[in-house]
Every structure is written in C-alpha cells, then in structure tokens.
Structure 1
Amino acid sequence: MKYSTSPTPMSNYPRSTSPLPAPANYSNYQPTTASAAVKRYKYIRRLFKFNQMDFEFAAWQMVYLFVAPQKVFRNFNYRKHTKSQFARDDPAFLVLLSVWLFLSSICFGFAMDLTKGELALFVLFVVFVDFIGVGLLVSTFLWYMSNKYLRRDPDGPDVEWGYAFDVHINAFFPPLSLLHCFQIVLFNSVLSNGSFFSCLISNTFWLASIIYYLYITFLGYSNLPILHNVRVFLMPLPLLFLGYLATLLMHWNFSEMLMMFYESRMRIRIL
C-alpha cells in the first residue's frame, strides 16, 4: 500500500472555532434572545447580590476610561458575541460609580461647610437627581435619537436602551473625577481666589471634562456597526473651544458658579 507524501491542502482540514469574536459586523451577531424587560429585571435583581458582581473588572474599566477608553468598548463588543447583548449584565460598574459619587459629594459638602442634615440632603440630591435622574433622561434622549436618525437600516437591529445608559455612565465617570474629586482639592486654595489664573485652571477642568464626555460617547456609539454618521457627537467641539475662550475673556469661573448653584439649591430646599 502506498502512502502519499504530498501535503494535504489546508482547505481539507476542518476549521477550528476561534476563541476570539468575529469582526465587527452586525450580520455576525446573534440576535438578542431576551426581551428588554427580562434583561432589566435580571440587571436590577443583581443589584442586591454583591457577591455576584465583578468589582475588580469594573475598577479596571474605570482606569481605562481615562487612559484607553477604546479597550472598554471592545469588551462590550465581546459581550455581544458571547451573551447576545451589548449592554452590561453586571451592575458592578454602576455600584462603584455611585459610591465614588457619594464620597465626592461628601467632600463637596465639607467644602461648602454644610451641617449633617444639609450634607445628607445634598448627597441624596446629587446621587438620585443629578446622576440617576439626569442620566436616565440623557440616555433615553440619545437612545431615541440614535435609533431614529443614525441607524443604517431602519428595519434592522436597534440600539439597546441599556447600552445607551452604559455609554452615558462610562462618559460620566471622567468628568465626575475631574470636577467632583480632583478639582475640589484645589478649590479653596487655587480655584476660588478671583484671579485670571484660577479662572483658567477651573474652566480648563470643565473643558477637559466635556471633551471626555463627548469623546467617550462618540466611541460608545461608533462601536455599534448598526449606526453611521456617529461623528455628529464630535461636532460641538469647535464651538466648545470658542465658548471656553469666551468664558476666559468674560472671567466666568465655572467652579465658582457650580458652588454657587449648589449653595443656592440647598437654601431653597431648606426653606
């Protein structure tokens, strides 16, 4: 019996399944099997099961939102291939972000010299109104606009509301860190002395925060292959820079304005 010594063509070997996800093409994605109500119920139920949350991975995402936000959204793409949804199914990131906002709000309250009762009211208002309430409104607005105007195929897959909320809280974390944490350390010593230098530093913090928010939002929606023309999220940048220069010329210190807003709101609530 003769045995052939010629190599077998590669096409004759069975193809092995790659552990990596397929290229970003929505035709390769598995359709979402669970309804939005079911996914929302599972997400909310896991909010009370801390032992099932991956806080280490959520902390990793927070770090990379500053240094390499593209890597964070690459993970969302992987989740679509493995779990048939872009949105997070683990609320660990939301929990950590809420804790971070809670602690930073306490620091703000100390800087404003609030009483214990005023501090408790201030923290509740910031967490549940400024963060959760406004976040729900912004996420819903961007979810609606992206589905209505940015989808390639109006009859094809749509943007998940949960993913729109994830994009918002991702984009919210760097501004929160810059404005509620890093900036408050410098407020009494640098940012509130009434000089042009304090105005420059303060408004630069705000400029960087808004740029972070717009850029991460752009990355989030550009990660979806079902959307096009997502550069619309970057269109405000030139106007933003012009507005930044205008605030410096008019000596509008945004950090002082934020502190005045918080203080006036607390006086209204107490009355």
Structure 2
Amino acid sequence: MKYSTSPTPSLNNYPRSTSPLPAPANYQPTVASAAVKRYKYLRRLFKFNQMDFEFAAWQMVYLFVAPQKVFRNFNYRKHTKSQFARDDPAFLVLLCIWLFLSSICFALAMGLGWQKVLLFVLFVVFVDFIGMAILVSTFFWYICNKYLQRDSEAGDVEWGYAFDVHINAFFPPLSLLHCFQILLFNNLLIHKGFLSCFVSNTFWLASVVYYLYITFLGYSNLPVLRNTRVFLLPLPALFLVYLATLGAGWNLSHMLINFYHYRVL
C-alpha cells in the first residue's frame, strides 16, 4: 500500500489568519544544489506511484478559495525538507492533464477539425504553458534575486520555487478562460454586442487579477524578499485597460480565438 509523504490537507493545520505568515526562525538551510533538486524532480515525473495526486488536487481547489493556505504548505516544506520548491511533480502532471482536456474542449468549441485540434493542443501545452512558464519563471527569479532581496547573504530565491509560483498562479486563469468560459461560448461569447464583450472581458480581468494576487502571495511568503507589493502595482492600470476595452468594444475572447485560428492555419 502506498502512503502519502505530504502533510494531511486539513484546515486545522493552518492558522485562521489570511495574511502571509513570517518565516519561522528555524528553517532548515538548503543543502542540495539546484542541479540535484532538478534531477530528483524530473526523475519523479516518470514514477506516478510516488506522486501524491490527492494532495495536488487539494491545492488546486484551495488556489481558488484560499490560496494563502497553499503557500503555508511551502513554509512547511522548507522547515522539513530544506527547500521551498515542490519535490513532488504531481501538481504539474495534473495541471498538464487539465490543460490537455480543456484545450481539446476549447478547440472543438471553435469548430476545428481533428488535425487542427491536435496541433492546437500541442501549441497550448508546449508553447503557451511550458515554454512561457520557463520564460516567466526565469524573469521573476532574476528580478527577485536582483532587486527584491533583503540581504545578499540571506540566500537566493530558488528557480524551482519561481516555477511553482507561476504554475500556481496559472491554474485559476486556465480554469476561468478554458473551462468556465467555454460553457458560455456558443450561447453568448461567440456573438457580438456589449453583453458578450462585458462577460468576456470580465473573465479576463478576473484571470489576470488572480494571477497577480497569487504571484504576490507566493513571493511575499519568502522571508528573503522585500517590497513584494510591487507585483500588485499593475492592478489600477489593469482596471483602466479593462474599462478601455469595454468602451472600445474590444472583445478579448474574440481576439484570442482569431489568434488561435491564425496559429493553426
């Protein structure tokens, strides 16, 4: 029988406060190199019997309803395993499966043939998700270590943790834009008019707000960083852009669909 090595995802394990908690003073120092941690992580991608999918699914649910609780578990990992980054790729595997299935549904809703559906799914999974995840994670990892460190001797932000923050923040927008939005696609979003534009662009606004907020929570969770509120600075400008798109009648979902059609031609 396989026993999970992850902590039990019980609400009783966490304090009632919703603000990010300061790091405990007795964190275990990081001893493994980035190459060693990366090798162990990638090796476990092919060992499904060692992955804790139940706990990964719990994290996905709480990224919607209480993302602070997910990042408190990262503190627990640093305390017990001397690293913030996940050592179990179960969350990444579940996210790829979710993205694969939602992309098929999205492509069928656009009326693509099966060959174009396959091409569309390959683009979304390997370019839009994995490729962009590597680029965005590397960018935030560099910015944090270069400009947001409290003390150069306090330690660096792990690249693996930056990757985890990105895929955590990516899951709610994926669900909103590829899953929930698809339920309204043929009945509302595919049509023209203000109502379609309003609903579509509101989905996009909520998605970007979710991404920025979860990214902020992820980096504010690290005791070696300061001024992490910088990740929330785009919010006022984002709302102004949202109002501008409504005033101009720019339906962002229509623009995305046109881009997807152009890509698979």
- Structure 1 residue aligned with 2:237, among 236, 239, 256? 239
Residue 90 of structure 1: SS of its match in structure 2?
coil
Runs of 4+ in 1 over 3 A off after TM superposition: 23-27
In the aligned structure 2, how far is the partner of 1:143 from the partner of 1:27?
Answer: 23
Contact 1:150 1:227 survives alignment (8 Å) = yes
In the aligned structure 1, how far is the partner of 2:29 from the partner of 2:73?
Answer: 18
Aligned partner of 1:35: which letter?
Answer: S
Post-superposition offset of 1:28 = 2.5
What per-residue deviation string (whole Å, max 9, x for no partner) do you get for residues 137-185 of structure 1? 0000000000000000022211000000000000000000000011011
- Structure 2 residue aligned with 1:125, among 99, 123, 126? 123
Q: How many residues align?
A: 247
Contact 2:216 2:232 survives alignment (8 Å) = yes
In the aligned structure 1, how far is the partner of 2:189 from the partner of 2:150?
Answer: 46
- Structure 2 residue aligned with 1:166, among 164, 173, 184? 164
TM value normalised by structure 2: 0.91
What per-residue deviation string (whole Å, max 9, x for no partner) do you get for residues 207-264 of structure 1? 0000000000000000001100000000000000011000000000001111000001
Residue 87 of structure 1: SS of its match in structure 2?
coil
Point out where structure 1 has 5 or more consecutive residues left out of the alignment: 1-18
Counterpart of 1:135?
A: 133
In the aligned structure 1, how far is the partner of 2:56 from the partner of 2:110?
Answer: 31
Q: Do structure 1's residue 34 and structure 2's residue 20 form an aligned pair? A: no
Counterpart of 2:7?
A: none
Aligned partner of 2:99: which letter?
Answer: L
Aligned partner of 1:198: which letter?
Answer: S
Contact 2:23 2:221 survives alignment (8 Å) = no
Counterpart of 1:91?
A: 89
Q: Do structure 1's residue 70 and structure 2's residue 75 form an aligned pair? A: no
Counterpart of 2:3?
A: none
Counterpart of 1:198?
A: 196
Larger radius of gyration: 1
TM value normalised by structure 1: 0.89
Point out where structure 2 has 5 or more consecutive residues left out of the alignment: 1-12, 15-20
In the aligned structure 2, how far is the partner of 1:240 from the partner of 1:98?
Answer: 28
- Residue identity over aligned pairs, in percent, reads 76
Aligned partner of 1:260: which letter?
Answer: N
Post-superposition offset of 1:26 = 6.5
Could you say what the CA RMSD is over the residues aligned between the two structures, in angstroms? 1.3
218-227 vs 148-157, greater mean Cα deviation = 148-157
In the aligned structure 2, how far is the partner of 1:205 from the partner of 1:109?
Answer: 18
